[in-house]
Amino acid sequence: MLSLAILVAFILGFIARRVGLPPLVGFLVGGFVLYGIGADGGEQLPELGRVGVYLLLFSIGLKLRPKSLLKPEIWGVASIHMLVIVGLFGAAIYGLAAMQISLFAGMSLGSALLLAFALSFSSTVFAVKVLAETGQSQSFFGRTAIGILIVQDVFAIVFMTISTGKLPNAWALLLLGFPIYRRLILWLMTKAGHAELLVLLGVLLAIASADVFTLMGLKPDIAPLLIGVVIGQHPKAKEMSKTLAGFQDLFLMLFFLTIGLNGFPSLEGLGIALLFVAVTPLKLALFFLLLSRFNMRSRTSLFTSLSLGNYSEFGLIVGAVGASAGWLSGDWLVIIAIALSTTLVLAAPLNTGAMALYLRLQSFLDRFETERRLTEELPIDPRGAHTVVIGMGRMGTHAYDTLKELRGDQIIGLDHDVEVVRAHIDAGRNVVEGDPSDPEFLARLDMDSRVELILLAGGKVETSLATIRGLRERHPERKIAATATWPEEADALREAGANLVFNIYADTGADFARHAHEELIGADRTNS
């Protein structure tokens, strides 16, 4: 029953959350529990789980800027890493086959390379979920990790399309009308408002695009990603992505349950799965080495590598394609599923404790840094400003504009999202890229004596606390103002050293009431 599947997912997801793991770890375990008790979750579960993958790819497409994939640290690292892993793993697997060891016996070189190809991918679902939960999706290392994952996913989808051995059928002629469809979709996005219809349109686009590709004889997975990229420049694209987040999380929960429902392997298969798990540090180490060779700092290279040091749901899909074509036996699907699930469980605490791991290994990891620096990691120059606004969302933007009116042009804004930075620059604001969650952010922020006031406008309270403490150590004389959502956050920020804390809800409500009273009631009394 579907209700039983959701109940098991909730209980184990709740337990995972309580012990400091992402809930998706509980969802994975939930799938194995359902299989163990003989429950399959109903016929709807696999289909609904597939919807979760479509929504994920669609949301990635909405945020993706194709130019970002052209950066060498993205396409170069993704391509070289895949070639090396396929070569190494493929040779090792074929060697085990030649020695007639276990389930490897009798495997051809082509099958060995296919299995290695399936093991070369990293989990897009896991990385996106963890980055979203930690608020690092738009950080430099987060964007780099997602870019590498998208390049990998494109490789997978190209393989799956070619592996069918079929050309698109006559329905592919529908693509000729795509310019018209795009105009219609953009018009619908504009007119759909900001609530239910916008959500429904997003779900419709993700699912319908996949169905259309299936109708054409093409693999459906790439369609939601492509449609997301095509409409990603629309002003409502970011809003649509946010409104879809809840639905995406729900359906992805069901997807993770379906992984566990593939079943338990034999004792022999379990041993092979654990062998695959044991070699994942090679994937992680190779990512780190390649990223550092592409001039990334050790901290960025490590954080990106930790996001990618696992196996992937796309590897499972590639394995399924190979099994359906007779290139792999069905036993390998269960083995890949076990290896995938185990690496995700192990990767969760590694990503949560990434900062502590970096600080422990920093002296060793720094040896791999090159002398050059990417633009995103160069020192931040306040350019003679007397006021710095950190976080250029809606609140930061209004703060920037107000301070500019009050104090003139000597003000600078910082934000970790490169697209936000570009939008502000286009609007004429003095904004540069900087990630306050980076422990070396303050070292990059080269403030001189002219900086008098620093505003922390929004963001996670943990990041604000770390930034305030760092500022107090380096620049104790600076005036710092911060924002808080809850009273306990305000207390913590003041204790850390903030001179002023603005409670977003309480203070805004008070200002609203005061302004309304002065402008409306006060005006009426004056006129009377």
CA distance linking residue 506 with residue 514, whole number of Å: 12
411 has pLDDT over 60: yes
- Please, is 208 exposed, middle or buried when counting C-beta atoms within 10 Å of its C-beta (0-12, 13-18, 19+)? middle
Could you tell me the residue ranges of all domains in the chain? 2-368, 379-527
Domain 379-527 has CATH 3.40.50.720: yes
Instruction: Report pLDDT digits (tens) over 281-291.
Output: 999 999 999 99
Domain 379-527 in the same topology as domain 2-368: no
Instruction: Report pLDDT digits (tens) over 74-102.
Output: 999 999 999 999 999 999 999 999 998 88
Q: Is 484 helix (H, G, I), strand (E, B) or coil?
A: strand
What secondary structure, in 3-state letters, does 346-361 show? HHHHHHHCHHHHHHHH
CB contact set of 96 (below 8 Å; sequence gap of 6+): 102, 104
Tokens of 155: 């490789």
Tokens of 370: 């090159």
Tokens of 480: 């710092």
Per the prediction, the chain carries an average pLDDT of 83
For the domain made up of 2-368, the CATH class stated in words is mainly alpha
CA distance linking residue 266 with residue 314, whole number of Å: 23
Average pLDDT over residues 359-369: 91
List residues bridging with 500 in a β-sheet. 481
Q: Are 303 and 354 in contact (CB under 8 A)?
A: yes
Q: For 281-290, 434-443, 496-505, which range has the lowest pLDDT when averaged over its residues?
A: 434-443
Which letter does DSSP use for residue 69 in this model?
G
Average pLDDT over residues 267-276: 90
Higher pLDDT, 313 or 307: 307
Q: Is 412 helix (H, G, I), strand (E, B) or coil?
A: strand
Higher pLDDT, 430 or 17: 430
523 has pLDDT over 60: no
457 has pLDDT over 80: yes
pLDDT given for residue 22 in this prediction: 67
Instruction: Report pLDDT digits (tens) over 166-199.
Output: 666 677 777 777 788 888 888 988 888 877 888 8
Instruction: Report pLDDT digits (tens) over 51-79.
Output: 888 888 788 788 777 777 788 889 999 99
Q: Are 330 and 409 in contact (CB under 8 A)?
A: no
